[in-house]
Structures are given as C-alpha cells and as structure tokens.
Structure 1
Amino acid sequence: MGQVTGSSDHRTAAARTPAAPGRRAVRVAVATAVAALPLAAVLTTGSAAPLAPPLGACSGSDCPSAWPPPHNGDFPGRDAAVNVFTGGDYTVNGRAAEAEGKIVTLGKLTVDKNGGGVYNMGVVGVGSRVVPPNGSDFVTTGGDVDVRTGNSVLIGGSDSHGPAFGNLRHAGPVTGTVSIDPTGESIQDPDAAAPYRSVLTRIQEVSDCVGRATATGTVAVAANEATFTGDGTSMRQVFNVTRDLASPTGGQIGLVFDGIPAGATVVVNMLGDSPVINTYTGTGLAGDRTTELRSKLMYNFPTASTARILGSAQFQGSVMAGNPGGTTTIAQPGMNGRVYLAGNLIHTGTGGYEIHSYPFDGDLPDCAVTPSPSPTSPTPSPSPTSPSPTFPSPTSPSPTSPSPTSPSPTSPGPTSPGPTPTSPAPTSSAPTSPSATATTSSAAPTGHRPSGGPTSPHPGGGGELPSTGAGNASVVLGLAGVGLLGLGGLAVLAARRRGRHS
C-alpha cells in the first residue's frame, strides 16, 4: 500500500462521507461538462477555433489579467483548465522536478527519479504560480500511482496569503509516498478518468486537423538556427516542418520567428515519425520574441511515434501530440505552455526540470463536420439524460505578451556555440530528410542568440539549468546566471514550501 500523508480522508469514493456541497458541485460540473464536449468529425479545414474547455485558455473566475514570467511569489490567480493531459502513461525519471497546474493522465503515474527525490504536482516552487482552484482535483489518474522507493510526490503548496490545496483522484491503487497538503484528499475512484475520455478523442482530432493545414510560411534550418518566416498578414501562421529542429549533429539551435502579425496564432507542425526539437531559445522574459508569442504558439506532432523536446531553455509555447500510441519526451529546464498528448509522456532531464502552467488561447485550424447522408437508416444524435453545464469561459484573456511581476533583465546571449545535448533521451541523429537552405533573417529580437548554444557545465552539451525549486542556493545562482529570472527573494521559498524537489 502507498503512504499518503496530509490528507483528511483516504477512503474510497464509495465509502467516504459526502464532500462539501461546493466541492461536489465543482466535481459534477467538471464531469458532466467534459463528457458533453462535442467530438466533431475531422473532414475539412478552413475556419479557425480555440480549444474548447477544459483545454486551452484559462478558465474559472480568478484567471490572472497578466501571466508573469517564472517566479516564486504569490499566486497571481487560479486556473481550472487542464495544463497537462496524457491519454497514456505519465512517467517521471531523470531529475525532473515539478509539474504545475491541473494534471490528468488516463494511464498510470510512475515516479522513479535517478537517486530519488520529490516530484511536486499542482503547485511548484518557481513557475507562473497560477494554481488550480482550492478543493478541486489537482491530479487525476486513470490507472495506478506508483511512487518508487526513495521518491515522493507532493501535491499542494502555499503563498503569503494562504494554501493551495487539492485532491489526488486515482482509479488504481497508490504505492509509495504521496504527501497532500490539507485539506486535499486522496480519493480512489474507479471512474476517475471517465469524464476525460472524450478529451482524448478531441486531442486526436484537433492534432490531425491542425497537421493537415496548408502552410502559410517557410522554414529555413541552418547549422545554428531555424528561421520561421510568416507571410506578414495571416492571423493564423502555419509552418510545416519535415526535419528535426536541431543542428546536423543533433545539437541545440536557435528558433527565430519573423513576419508574424501581432496577435496571430502560430502553428508549427512537426511532421514525421520521430521529430526532435533541440533548442536554447526561450526565457519567459519581456523582450523575448517567443515570450510574446507563447499564448498563441502551438507545436503539433500529429503522427509521431516518438517526439522529443530537448535543450537548455525556458521553452515557450504549447505542445500537442495526436498519436495515442506515441510517446513524447520533455527534457527542457522549463516547459512554459500546455502539454496535450494523446499518448504517453516522459518528463525527464539532468536538472530540476519543470512543466509550468501557461495557457493557450490561439485559434487553431478548424475541421468542419460534413455529415454523410443516410436516407435509409439515419442515426440520430444521442440526447443527454440530464442537462450538462458548460465550463466557465475565461474572464480575462491572456495577453500575447505577459508583463512580469517584477523587473527582469534581458537574457544575454552566450558567445560560444552550443554543444550536443545529453538528455536522458538519446541524441537524435542527423536528419534524414533534406535540409532547407539557410536564409538571412531580419535583425534578431532582444534576447535572441545569434549563433551557437549556451556554454554548459554539463558534458555533452545538454546545457541544462539547475533545479528551480526551493531549498537550494545553487538554484538561485544558476537561474540568475542565465537570466531566466530577474526576481529576488528566492530564498523565502524554503520557509514557505516544505519538501521542495531534490
């Protein structure tokens, strides 16, 4: 049996006493609304549409008016939308440290870090610090929760105003150590994942639809940089990439976006079976072009069996993968955007690598429904047996360029070329598809690295940053050194947050 601490009620869903009316109402609304989401047939593309709740934009009554860069201060708001979704299993290994926001996995959750340590879920030490509503399900699993010996999972946290607490709702048993801040609960519920089955189908459909969109711009990949050049006018910019976004030897490169109108949605379709993105681009700070694009930037892997996102950045933008049999590996110090996978997730890395909660509020290509006529035996649409409430719409749309809560210096670019990464995922080989010819881009935005990658203390050039959790002075120095956080007072986190990742 697993050891679950800090919970006020560890009984199964069938045996526990009734929850508070407000909490029960939230759970019922979420379950019925998710189940009622339309599952449109994917046939033709043309119009645009945002992702429907519980995916995409922030939802609830306390969404922040601006999303700050990664920081360790007070919670700027609450977000009821799903930040990380996997239709398969969720595996944590290497030295991955944290995942922020509401997390749903239809499969099992396994935490098996190298050397053991804490994996924080729902609330993190350094991130957007936008957390789920109190009393909601912070983590939902459709399978077992397996926390291996020497590891532990911590759910919940606090800021200077009070706690952020939520539930672990799990269909299978819990083994290992799971600590839940009060008054969050560990709730065994055989139907825990049932409300999200339709979300899996929706992700498959949207990813397929987006992957078939016609390109509006071009991509030129050189040894040190990939340049995405838009048409300058379309409000939905689509780039179709048929090779890795990496150097010829698989090393890190920069990502540059030009010709993108203000407010446009940007889609990068990574086509192929085993695509790789290996980059040092992304800080989350003002003046960084990818920060400006983040809330409308989507990397889509429609058919990949294996997809890998590697490098040494605070990677900006959301990720979608449509193959339910696929596996996506994330090994970036910071993943700043939604992670929506029909298949499996491996969260790994050689340092305190994290997934942060940032919304996606762009308009993706929309595949219209064209029903086939069936005069002899029409199939009526099923009618629900009871009304289903809808998810709340965001009250404050996220701006394209979030304002930091405190001044942040511009990230300086290094002067030495980036070495080849050595993340736990194997380094990709040189792309087999033809490489595009390099082109001359326009002047790079502030924070853009003109050539090469960062100087890295890690052999092999992963360029990984140290952990950004609390209780570790080297974390503060490491983050300040790369210009990722221009924020003071990281040391207060140790007093504010127990058991931060190790």
Structure 2
Amino acid sequence: MRHGVRGKNPLLRFAVVTALAATPLLTLVSIGQADPLAPPLGPCVGTCPNPFPQPPHNGDFAGSDSTINIYVGGNYTVQGRAAEAEGKIVTVKDLTIDKDGGGLFNMSVVGVGSRVPPPTGTDFVTVGGAVDVRPDNRLQVGGADSKETRWGNLVYGTNQSGTIEMAPTGEVVKNPAAIDGYSGLTATIEGHSACMAQQTATGAMTVDGNLYTFTGDGTSMRQVFNVDRNIGNATGAAADMVFTGIPAGATVIVNMVGPEPVLIRTNTGSGFPGDPMAELQPRLMWNIPNAADATITGGAQFQGSVMSGNPDGTVTLSSPGTNGRVYLAGNLLQTAPAGSTTGTELHAYPFDGDLPVCTSPSPSPSPSDSTSPSPSPSPSESTSPSPSPSPSTSESPSPSPSTSESPSPSPSPSSSGSTSPAPSPSGSTPQPTGSGSTPAGPPLPNTGGDSLVAPAAGAAAVLLGLGGAVIALARRARGRHS
C-alpha cells in the first residue's frame, strides 16, 4: 500500500521544500532595483533639508545642494520680466540676459524659493559658450542671508559681456573646457525622455469644463499618464488640475505627446502647506519628448520637474514660479506672458522619483541617435496599499511674491569685482562641481538592489540545483523500492 511522498519518500519531500525555498529569492531577482536619476541629476546631494521649504520662503539658507537644478543642452535666454533662477545651473551653449526694460536677474542664490543654493566656493553657473548681459541688464550670481554669504563662480567658454555682479569672493572665469565634464548629459536626458514616452499608461486624464482630472490606478508605484492634448488653452481660462488614485510615494510621469505647440496653462499650485500639488512635487515629472515648441505658463507656482528630449526644441517657462528640476536637451526661454509685470522664477527642488529604464533606443520620441542611458530592464510595477487622492481644484492660487524686479538676495556689499569683471586669466580652471567628470550616458546609481540581486541569484541557483539533485535521487530510490 502506497502512502505518498510523506510516508514513502523523504528525499522527494526535501526536494520540494528546497525548491520552494528558492522561490522568494528568484522573486527578489526579478524585482530588480529602483532607478532614480543618476548624479549630477535628480535628488539633492549635500546638506539637504527634509522637507524642502516651499515658496514663498525668503528666510535663511535651508541647506546646500550640488545637484544640477537647471540643465540646458542648447541656449538659455532670459526675457520679459524674468527675475530669478535658483540652484546649480549648466547651459551647453550661450546664456543671454535681455529683460524688457532691463533690470536685475539673480542666479543660483535667489530672494524667494527653496533657499537651498549650491555649496559655497563651487561653480554656481557653467556656460559652454558666451555670456551676454545686454545693456541696462545686470546679472548677479550668489548672495547672502542674515548669517552668511553664499558665493561661487561663473565659468564660461567663449566670450563675456555686460554687467555681472559676483557675491564676494566669486569669480568670472573663462575656461573653454569647463563644459566638457557635462558632455554626456544631453544624451542622458534624451534617453530618459524617450523611455518615459514609451511607457504604457496606468491612468487617464479627463476634462470637465475647466477641470483636468488625472486618475491613477491606485496601486502602481509608477503612475504614467500619456496626454495627447494641451492642458488649458492660450485664450480661455487656465486649467485647474487634480490628481487622484496616486499611492503615497509613487512616481508620477505626465507625458505630453499631443500636437504642437505643446501648452500647459494652469492656476493650480500655491506651494502653501496643504497644497496637494506641492505634496506630489518631489516625484512628479512633466515629460515633453518630441515637441519643437512647448510652453508652461499660468498663474501658479508650477509644481514638478520638467524634462524635454528634443535637442532642437525650445521650452518656454513663464509661470510665476517653477518648483522642480528643469532638464532640457534643447533650449530654454525664461520669460513672462505678454503684458505681464510678474517676475518669473525657477526654484531649486529635487526630483526623487524612479524613472523607467529602456534597454534600447526609442524608435520615435528622441530625434537623436543617442541610446538609452541604462541597460537594465524596467522592473514591473509594484503595488501600494492606499491611494492618496488630491481633492483641491484651486481656482486662483497666489502667484509668486516676486514682481517686476526681483529683490536682490544679497545685502552683502556686493560686487567685489563687480560691474564688468574681466575674465580671470589665472591658472584657476575650475572643474564642474558636484559630479566630477560625467561620461556620456552615465550609469544609474547603485541603490543597493544589485548587492542583493547577485547573491540572491546565486543562492537561488544553488538551492534549485540541490532540489534537482535530490529529486533525481528520490526517483532512483523510488525505482528501486517500488
């Protein structure tokens, strides 16, 4: 009489247990690791406040951050009544300051924003080409709070003209090689933008009058919305936006894949405590993969990072405040809507989300022939227990307090070397800070997953091997005793 595996064949029972023990390890291998943007892009690196202060914050410095906040693969042009651009700034081609009626433009240290500037003594602004500050305009780099002065260098590659005021003891330095350390970042941004645009949507945007509602699936830790139309319009009312069905801690990607010119015009986003958009901001990415012409505007403190993958494209930012990283393969125009006297500002806030990884170049969104920056496959999306709805429709959030001329953040006796400093001929050839040399398509950072995956895979293989061997022995034993 047979009694099954339990009574007759302990070897076979051991083999089953061994195979089951390998299963969670194989599951761990299949999950892989998270993929935040790799330095010098993405999360804050330095003395990082948690949380970052939201505008309107004009108090003392809240920390320091060596991550690039604004990267422009083409030309960076300041027009209209633009007022400030915060954080570490890199533009591959030219920087032009040409405000309507002239006036002051602050870079790296600003009067109102997160107040988390780059570390003192580093390269605050790096320009691969020329710096042209037009007549009646002034460019100020660095500044002070009530306790200290934060100063850094402006490094440029070819020519410099106009009035540049450096907080002591920052310098204006000519170094044609300064941009070389960032040479791979344009291709990296193109690759990430194209990869995001390939992702299958997990949610959808619906429109009811002036209300644009983004409804996620409530579970995926990477929420993707593929939007094939503009948000708001140029002549009617600006859009009110609501995100719902977004699990706590999820990354949110909004791919703007509609017809050109791409437009996001919204009054949603105040930055004040309790603002649902400000809660999403650290993990919210607005992706513009293809457009030659895209504009983000409205009366809001626009929340979230912006990425554009077209190296021939131009993104225009004209909201009172943009709170997040700005990473563009092409050009940036920072201005204000026609007839507006509101000063537009770009504020330094990290992007802490996880982006998908593609194993091959995208066939369509990126016009360049660059490859995707990371070889590893995108992990499947995990689930999260609780959606976090975002109820506010905020009809008229307050604009940034900065009006026409941004208050100078630097009460310090200004400008040692100031009104038109000559290029420094010294042997000081500062290298880009925060990252050192960044090769093309830098690898994604090690978040600890790979240190677990390799041993787990090995352990799983050993256990499965043991299981297979024991099964073979068990079958032989059964053959002898049956």
Under a length normalisation based on structure 2, what TM-score does the superposition of the two structures give? 0.69
**Hey, what's the Cα distance between the residues in 2 that align with 1:116 and 1:353?**
14
**Hey, what's the Cα distance between the residues in 2 that align with 1:308 and 1:212?**
22
1:148 maps onto 2:139 in alignment: no
1:66 maps onto 2:57 in alignment: no
**Hey, what's the Cα distance between the residues in 1 that align with 2:389 and 2:186?**
41
The answer to whether the Cα contact below 8 Å between 1:297 and 1:317 also exists between their aligned partners in 2 is yes
Cα distance per residue 1:75-96 (max 9 Å; x no partner): 1100000000000000000000
The answer to whether the Cα contact below 8 Å between 2:87 and 2:124 also exists between their aligned partners in 1 is yes
Counterpart residue identity of residue 278, structure 1: R
Q: Structure 1 residue 289: deviation in Å? A: 0.8
The answer to whether the Cα contact below 8 Å between 2:167 and 2:412 also exists between their aligned partners in 1 is no
Q: Which residues in structure 2 correspond to 1:292-311 (within 5 Å)?
A: 292-311=279-298
Q: Structure 1 residue 249: deviation in Å? A: 4.5
Paired position in structure 2 for 1:115: 101
Q: What runs of 5+ residues in structure 2 fail to find an aligned partner?
A: 1-31, 362-387, 416-482
Cα distance per residue 1:10-36 (max 9 Å; x no partner): xxxxxxxxxxxxxxxxxxxxxxxxxxx
Counterpart residue identity of residue 52, structure 2: W
Secondary structure at the aligned position of 1:130 is classed as: coil
Summarize the Cα distance change of 1:48–1:306 in structure 2 as closer, same or farther, 3 Å threshold: farther
Under a length normalisation based on structure 1, what TM-score does the superposition of the two structures give? 0.67
1:333 maps onto 2:316 in alignment: no
**Hey, what's the Cα distance between the residues in 1 that align with 2:98 and 2:405?**
18
Q: Structure 1 residue 223: deviation in Å? A: 2.5
Q: Which has the higher helix share?
A: 2
Secondary structure at the aligned position of 2:277 is classed as: helix
Paired position in structure 2 for 1:357: 348
Paired position in structure 2 for 1:170: 156
1:467 maps onto 2:458 in alignment: no
Q: CA RMSD in A?
A: 2.3
| Match of residue 132, structure 1, among 106, 109, 118 | 118
Q: What runs of 5+ residues in structure 1 fail to find an aligned partner?
A: 1-45, 371-441, 456-462, 473-492
**Hey, what's the Cα distance between the residues in 2 that align with 1:85 and 1:76?**
22
Q: Structure 1 residue 497: deviation in Å? A: 8.6
Summarize the Cα distance change of 1:191–1:278 in structure 2 as closer, same or farther, 3 Å threshold: same
Secondary structure at the aligned position of 1:114 is classed as: coil
Secondary structure at the aligned position of 2:138 is classed as: strand
Paired position in structure 1 for 2:207: 221
Counterpart residue identity of residue 310, structure 1: T
Counterpart residue identity of residue 260, structure 1: I
Paired position in structure 1 for 2:251: 265
Cα distance per residue 1:28-75 (max 9 Å; x no partner): xxxxxxxxxxxxxxxxxx985110000000013x12232011211111
Paired position in structure 2 for 1:193: 179
Secondary structure at the aligned position of 2:226 is classed as: strand
1:445 maps onto 2:391 in alignment: yes
1:321 maps onto 2:308 in alignment: yes
The answer to whether the Cα contact below 8 Å between 1:200 and 1:342 also exists between their aligned partners in 2 is yes
Summarize the Cα distance change of 1:497–1:90 in structure 2 as closer, same or farther, 3 Å threshold: farther
Cα distance per residue 1:307-332 (max 9 Å; x no partner): 10010011110000000000000000
**Hey, what's the Cα distance between the residues in 1 that align with 2:174 and 2:36?**
33
The answer to whether the Cα contact below 8 Å between 2:83 and 2:406 also exists between their aligned partners in 1 is no
The answer to whether the Cα contact below 8 Å between 1:222 and 1:247 also exists between their aligned partners in 2 is no
**Hey, what's the Cα distance between the residues in 2 that align with 1:497 and 1:284?**
32
**Hey, what's the Cα distance between the residues in 2 that align with 1:80 and 1:471?**
24
The answer to whether the Cα contact below 8 Å between 1:224 and 1:247 also exists between their aligned partners in 2 is no
Cα distance per residue 1:84-123 (max 9 Å; x no partner): 0000000000000000000000010001000000100000
The answer to whether the Cα contact below 8 Å between 2:88 and 2:125 also exists between their aligned partners in 1 is yes
**Hey, what's the Cα distance between the residues in 2 that align with 1:171 and 1:199?**
17
**Hey, what's the Cα distance between the residues in 2 that align with 1:312 and 1:49?**
33
Counterpart residue identity of residue 312, structure 1: G
Summarize the Cα distance change of 1:497–1:226 in structure 2 as closer, same or farther, 3 Å threshold: farther
Paired position in structure 1 for 2:62: 76
The answer to whether the Cα contact below 8 Å between 1:83 and 1:102 also exists between their aligned partners in 2 is yes
Secondary structure at the aligned position of 1:53 is classed as: coil
Counterpart residue identity of residue 315, structure 1: F
1:50 maps onto 2:36 in alignment: yes
Q: Structure 1 residue 192: deviation in Å? A: 1.8
**Hey, what's the Cα distance between the residues in 2 that align with 1:87 and 1:224?**
34
Summarize the Cα distance change of 1:232–1:65 in structure 2 as closer, same or farther, 3 Å threshold: same
Q: Structure 1 residue 250: deviation in Å? A: 4.7
Summarize the Cα distance change of 1:315–1:63 in structure 2 as closer, same or farther, 3 Å threshold: same
**Hey, what's the Cα distance between the residues in 1 that align with 2:74 and 2:295?**
16
**Hey, what's the Cα distance between the residues in 1 that align with 2:244 and 2:413?**
41
Q: Structure 1 residue 151: deviation in Å? A: 0.2
Number of residue pairs matched by the alignment: 352
**Hey, what's the Cα distance between the residues in 1 that align with 2:329 and 2:400?**
27
Secondary structure at the aligned position of 2:183 is classed as: helix
Paired position in structure 1 for 2:420: none
**Hey, what's the Cα distance between the residues in 2 that align with 1:74 and 1:175?**
32
**Hey, what's the Cα distance between the residues in 1 that align with 2:268 and 2:401?**
13
Cα distance per residue 1:251-286 (max 9 Å; x no partner): 311110000000000000000332100000011122
The answer to whether the Cα contact below 8 Å between 1:297 and 1:318 also exists between their aligned partners in 2 is yes
Counterpart residue identity of residue 53, structure 2: P
